[in-house]
Structure 1
Amino acid sequence: MAAILANNEPQIAPGKIGILLVNLGTPDAPRYWSVRTFLKEFLTDRRVIELPRLFWWPILQFFVLIFRPGRIAKQYAAIWNKETNEGPLKAITRSQAEKLAAWIGAGGLDSKSHHVARDRFFIAWAMRYRKPSIAEGITTLKEHGCSRILVVPLYPQYAAATTASVHDEVFAALKAMRWQPAVHIAPPYFDDQTYIDILATSIRSGVSRLGFVPDTILVSFHSLPKAMIAKGDPYYDQCLVTWQLLRQELGLGEDRCPVSFQSRFGARQWLQPYTVDKVKELARGGLKSLVVVAPGFAADCLETLFELGIENREIFVKNGGANYAVIPCLNDSELGMMLIHDHVAREIKGWI
């Protein structure tokens, strides 16, 4: 070994910093079998479904994976990005990675892959479920000379079913590697002042472009089973903190800016009030103009575009409401990219 070192120059170049943006995922197509494949991967994650396997597996195989894919495929078809032939969440996450690369410095898109190259950085994006996978993202960052990797789960509020699942997959990928990069996973940003300021600015801007003045702004988060919260998951508390800080920034009381939880699945008790019930209650109570915001989502997806934008609109109007609008998520807007850039910059500050 000494002879080798004496006769050869060191071959280890300074490593790049890799940044991996991660969001939940989407089916490969708005069709039955593609949706079934996505649901199977999603609903076999033990972080997502904590029921005993002997109980859950027959339900999944003989009921959920038979009857749900067809209905959900129709929902995806209603919001599908036909220009890029992919789900909106996937298209937006790609754009977020590309724009983050542009904000960080000069460079170009590697059009042969799901990654954005930089002189000092290499930026990738991944889906927790389906493609491009987290394992592909981690491997590619390492292959492109990244000795340090920042993983950024695009979930403002922590939940074991989302954020911790990203952790699991990242370290599962690393487990298969011989030489491993140093890895840091960015924390949730539910109470970050920049996040709250940008949310409030986005809401004010969105409301100003409507043709009506809302009587109420409903803040809707994705729900979770109450059993998960009872086990110590901080998600519910973090949602409430975001809601309270946002209300304060907007100068609204609970009556004009209530909170609710959407996307309940199964027969168990989930976090309440349910958004669908709250929308119905507001309409039946005489409310005529409603705006809904979803600050728990970093990008628009099935839950915001179809569930909030289509299903809940119909419920509101059917029960006596008149004016209804959903403010878009921050997505890859200038405000959204300001938030992602600020979040990333804070986490890699000690690396540069």
Structure 2
Amino acid sequence: MADSVVKDQPGEGRLTHAPSSHPAVPRAKVGVVLANLGTPDATDYWSMRRYLSEFLSDKRVVDYAGWKWQPLLQLIILTKRPFSSGHAYKSIWNNEKNESPLLTITRAQTEKMTERLKALYGDDVEVDFCMRYGNPSTDSVLKRMKEKGCERIVFFPLYPQYGSPTTATANDQAFRTLMKMKWQPYIRTVPAYFEHPAYIQALANSVQEAYDGFESRPTKLVASYHGVPERYLMEGDPYHCQCQKTTRLLREKLGLSKEEVDTAFQSQFGPEKWVGPQAVEHVAELAKQGHKHIAILSPAFSSDCVETLEEIKEEIHDSFMEAGG
């Protein structure tokens, strides 16, 4: 159901001194937009292909020269990968709502924030969410915010650690939308929150709650982050360093020793060397070292998604068990 937009007419509010021919303008509001990575609309081949094409064509995600990358992507990768990715999404799909868990959870987060901010500021604030890839698009949400009268917008990429393929591309897309507007809203982007005390406390609470439910205490906690090519670190992307600091702050908050907490990275793609250790290999090595019970945390993901619900719960879990864990 569409929200009604209250507008000032000539002779009232901000248009008190405007001529009668002046178009009505919405009452001024502040907008808050939560920006997540994205999700396919469905798990079939063509839905997956559209989503993966948009995602893997982003120069922030894969920065190879287009003349070299696009033929490989369109003619080889996108003829096969939609099948395997579609299978992974099917295994985690929210069949009740016919959408991915990431979409379900991001919407729920938005609803919670709406409740909190509306209680404080009433109708002077609008809250919504967008996806960098797929729907609802950044372009459509920011335009809708502007139509509702949001002259100031807080744009909040939901990535705890800053990364060029995540935070930067989300901001890029927001700025591209503003470039097409006659009257741009003032926009402020929220920085990474990898060391924010509330975030670290939330991670610690999650770990402690899980530990309290175990019959035996895990001998190792593995913080598994989405990986990036090692070259990104060398070129100045702070993501790897921020991941390491998040792990350290979490370990200190939990009162654990360095030997009890490891950092690993998952979701490697392509031929380049990526930051490591790779989670799937690291947990297998832990099992070979005699660890029978480990816990895995995903600090880089603000909501469950295919990387947490399928990759960690299945691929990484199976790697650990098959190695003797």
TM-score under structure 1 normalisation? 0.84
Question: Are the equivalent residues in 1 in contact too, given 2:26–2:148 (CA < 8 A)?
Answer: no
How far residue 274 of structure 1 moved from its aligned partner, in angstroms, is 0.5
Task: Tell me which amino acid in the other structure corresponds to 1:199.
Answer: L
Task: Tell me which amino acid in the other structure corresponds to 1:85.
Answer: N
How far residue 13 of structure 1 moved from its aligned partner, in angstroms, is 6.2
Distance verdict in 2 for CA 1:268–1:150, change over 3 Å: same
Question: Are the equivalent residues in 1 in contact too, given 2:33–2:154 (CA < 8 A)?
Answer: yes
Q: 1:145 aligns with which of 143, 146, 149?
A: 149
Partner of 1:32: 45
Partner of 1:265: 269
How far residue 18 of structure 1 moved from its aligned partner, in angstroms, is 0.2
Query: Could you tell me how far apart the structure 2 residues matched to 1:277 and 1:182 are?
Result: 46
Task: Tell me which amino acid in the other structure corresponds to 1:25.
Answer: G
Verify: 1:213 aligned to 2:226, yes or no. no
What pairs up with 1:196-235 in 2 under 5 angstroms? 196-235=200-239
Q: 1:81 aligns to what SS in structure 2?
A: coil
1:313-348 CA-partner distances (Å, limit 9, x unpaired):
111111111xxxxxxxxxxxxxxxxxxxxxxxxxxx
Q: 1:125 aligns to what SS in structure 2?
A: strand
Question: Where do 5+ consecutive residues of structure 1 fail to align?
Answer: 108-116, 322-352
Q: 1:103 aligns to what SS in structure 2?
A: helix
Query: Could you tell me how far apart the structure 2 residues matched to 1:176 and 1:192 are?
Result: 34
How far residue 284 of structure 1 moved from its aligned partner, in angstroms, is 1.1
Query: Could you tell me how far apart the structure 1 residues matched to 2:211 and 2:257 are?
Result: 17
Question: Are the equivalent residues in 1 in contact too, given 2:25–2:149 (CA < 8 A)?
Answer: no
Question: Are the equivalent residues in 2 in contact too, given 1:148–1:183 (CA < 8 A)?
Answer: yes
How far residue 58 of structure 1 moved from its aligned partner, in angstroms, is 1.8
Partner of 1:283: 287
What pairs up with 1:52-201 in 2 under 5 angstroms? 52-106=65-119, 119-201=123-205
Q: 1:241 aligns to what SS in structure 2?
A: helix
Query: Could you tell me how far apart the structure 2 residues matched to 1:282 and 1:94 are?
Result: 37
Query: Could you tell me how far apart the structure 2 residues matched to 1:27 and 1:144 are?
Result: 27
Partner of 1:247: 251
Verify: 1:18 aligned to 2:22, yes or no. no
Q: 1:307 aligns to what SS in structure 2?
A: helix
Query: Could you tell me how far apart the structure 1 residues matched to 2:37 and 2:291 are?
Result: 34
- Tell me the percent identity: 40
Q: 1:149 aligns to what SS in structure 2?
A: strand
1:237-290 CA-partner distances (Å, limit 9, x unpaired):
111111111111111122211110000001110010000110110011111001
Question: Are the equivalent residues in 2 in contact too, given 1:149–1:182 (CA < 8 A)?
Answer: yes
1:131-164 CA-partner distances (Å, limit 9, x unpaired):
0000111001111111100000000000111111
Q: 1:168 aligns to what SS in structure 2?
A: helix
Partner of 1:306: 310
1:162-214 CA-partner distances (Å, limit 9, x unpaired):
11101110011111110111000100001111111121112101221234321
1:35-66 CA-partner distances (Å, limit 9, x unpaired):
11110000000000011112211211122101
How far residue 216 of structure 1 moved from its aligned partner, in angstroms, is 0.7
Question: Are the equivalent residues in 2 in contact too, given 1:17–1:147 (CA < 8 A)?
Answer: yes
Question: Where do 5+ consecutive residues of structure 2 fail to align?
Answer: 1-15
Question: Are the equivalent residues in 1 in contact too, given 2:224–2:298 (CA < 8 A)?
Answer: yes
Q: 1:124 aligns to what SS in structure 2?
A: strand
How far residue 118 of structure 1 moved from its aligned partner, in angstroms, is 5.4
How far residue 298 of structure 1 moved from its aligned partner, in angstroms, is 0.4
Partner of 1:340: none
Query: Could you tell me how far apart the structure 1 residues matched to 2:32 and 2:100 are?
Result: 22
* Farther off after superposition, 184-193 or 97-106: 97-106
1:66-105 CA-partner distances (Å, limit 9, x unpaired):
1111011111000001111001101110111111111223
Q: 1:287 aligns to what SS in structure 2?
A: coil
Partner of 1:44: 57
TM-score under structure 2 normalisation? 0.91
Question: Are the equivalent residues in 2 in contact too, given 1:106–1:119 (CA < 8 A)?
Answer: no
Query: Could you tell me how far apart the structure 1 residues matched to 2:280 and 2:39 are?
Result: 23
RMSD of Structure 2 on Structure 1 (CA): 1.9
What pairs up with 1:335-350 in 2 under 5 angstroms? none
Query: Could you tell me how far apart the structure 2 residues matched to 1:66 and 1:280 are?
Result: 31
